[in-house]
Amino acid sequence: FFEIFNEPVLQSWLHDIRPYEQDIVKVIRKRTNNLIICGTRLWSQEVDVASEHPLEGSLNVAYTLHFYAASHREGLRQKARAALGSGVVLFVTEWGTCSADGDGDVDLHEARLWLNFLAEHNISDANWAVGDKDEACSALVAGASEEGGWASKAGRHTVLTSSGRFARESLRAFAEGRDEKVIADGASQPCRTSLLWVFIAAAMLAWTLGRPRLSH
């Protein structure tokens, strides 16, 4: 797929972002009908504003929503509901378990609420980040091997951070057809959650391809 504008900030949706993305969509459509994901205003949060004036020719076009669980809560989900109610398709191309700066406290409770929300509305997502940088959003502890092999012989996955364990267990639950959520120590308890998390891009990004329904 194509994500054509990463995190616009204060530009106008109507006068700046939308016209630019409309032009890019026209160029891409000359060559392929693959999914195009359009960035939205204010670090890809104002999906409700974009949904009021969507791009023309919206076949296989989605609008991106970014969230970090410790910073973005029900207020942002309300924006997402408004956008969905307007008939647009959303794709969460970046989310984290921590604060919006990629660090700070990990909020797994709020992350569960978000994942349940995404599952409820069939919204695909991409978790940030598969890396060993010393910050809360990293899935790996500092110094983890870039060649993988992250499971210890005892199966305790000691190279995974709390965020990494949460994402890993969410992936495994989805892949194995289990209904469960992850608690802070990596164990699980019953709850409906759906996430498919794929490690890509040389330990920098994971994306989820498990929730289709992106065309309308």
Within 10 angstroms of residue 149's Cβ, the number of other Cβ atoms is 8
Active site residues: 7, 94
Task: Specify whether the backbone of 40 is left (phi greater than 0), alpha (psi in -120 to 50) or beta.
Answer: beta
Amino acid at residue number 97: T
SS3 label, residue 199 = strand
Among 72, 89, 46, CA closest to 18: 46
Burial zone of 47 (CB within 10 Å; 0-12 exposed, 13-18 middle, 19+ buried): buried
Burial zone of 15 (CB within 10 Å; 0-12 exposed, 13-18 middle, 19+ buried): exposed
